[in-house]
Structure 1
């Protein structure tokens, strides 16, 4: 059987709600984010194979918190989750934690303008470009595609880059992909389906 990858984004965080730039800094899940994680876990229970799954997560706190909730629901030991640095969110370096993109325009107008001119390749001070994120995440994807069932909890930008690569999208189209937290993606044979997460009835 071909590999199946369930690609999830962490639940909503307090900084998500505030519009703050998180990067590799962290913020805990909101009550809504916790409910989203529970809903994803309950939805996955009907989809995952009975003989086990390879459970992967970004080591950043919001993904760890989401993964812990899901692991409890699906009966997967937390200590068997594999935390992989390649799944970390893009770091904006000196910009991590800035209140908003609008605030960044005021804080560093020249750098912000350079980012708008070439968002894929622009590297913030002490941060990463999207190309750098692709360079570390696609090898992870290719390893998963060799076989088995994989459950992956990661981040908005990371997941967009993985999906854009699979779909063969250009950089602009990849940037325009959505970043839902109310469901997840199933990837099989390079086909991607969105599955809405529904809690217990």
Structure 2
């Protein structure tokens, strides 16, 4: 599927968690939203209140931090929120639950990305970006109409790279962020804040 053939999407990352605030790797583990994270979800709700979401599905990662964000965003609209395990965060293997400063990234020449995102590709026993790419592509191929997606930082970047038709290493150049919404339509990304 080419970038312009994907349905219109609004992609949200969950709000800040206690582990985000402390620099701890989360992956598939649970950490609750902070008060700041709840406020970020409310900011996303205000952004989406300005948009006509008629005909949009609301699809969320089943992980607690994403579900909590989805409920904060959509509780007043009473939208039906369905979950899909393909939207889970990348598995960070044995590095899940560890403080980033305790971990060491190697200069692996086979690595797809460098910088902070390399933690997720090089995590011992982790999912890795190639598997995440396959999972995200499977999810995108299953969409049959416009959708709002509530997911996680790395998964959000991978979804957006695929929709925009960029190579995996372009993930490092995409903006991240909590409390914002990424609008993707016809192969173009717009940051809404």
Q: Which TM bucket (shorter chain)?
A: 0.7 to 0.9
Bigger Rg, which one:
1
Which residue is 1:199 aligned to? Answer: none
3-state SS in 2 of match to 1:7: strand
3-state SS of 1:133 partner: helix
Whether the 8 Å CA contact 1:3–1:188 is kept in 2: the answer is yes
Q: 1:188: how far off?
A: 1.2
State the TM-score, normalizing by the size of structure 1: 0.82
Give the RMSD, CA atoms, in angstroms. Answer: 2.0
Tell whether the 8 Å contact from 2:10 to 2:184 is kept in structure 1 after alignment.
Answer: yes
Counterpart position of 2:151: 154
User: Counterpart of 1:132?
Assistant: 131
Task: State the TM-score, normalized to the length of structure 2.
Answer: 0.85
Preserved contact between residue 165 and residue 187 of structure 2 (Cα < 8 Å): no
Task: Please list the CA deviations of residues 81-126 of structure 1 after superposition, one character each: whole Å capped at 9, or x if unmatched.
Answer: 11111000001111101111x2012xxxxxx426x54333956333
- Residues 59-98 of structure 1 aligned to structure 2 (within 5 Å): 59-76=62-79, 80-98=80-98
Q: How many residues align?
A: 181
Q: Does 1:28 align with 2:20?
A: no
Deviations 1:174-196, CA, capped at 9 Å, x for gaps: 23322111311111112111111
Q: For residues 13 and 51 of structure 2, what CA distance do their matches in structure 1 show?
A: 17
Provide the rounded CA distance (Å) in 1 between the counterparts of 2:110 and 2:175: 20
| Structure 1 residues 169 and 52, CA gap change in structure 2 (3 angstroms) | closer
Q: CA separation in 2, counterparts of 1:176 and 1:191?
A: 15
Structure 2 residues without counterparts, runs of 5 or longer: 1-5, 114-120
1:75 deviates by 2.5
SS in 2 for 1:113: coil
SS at match of 1:73: coil
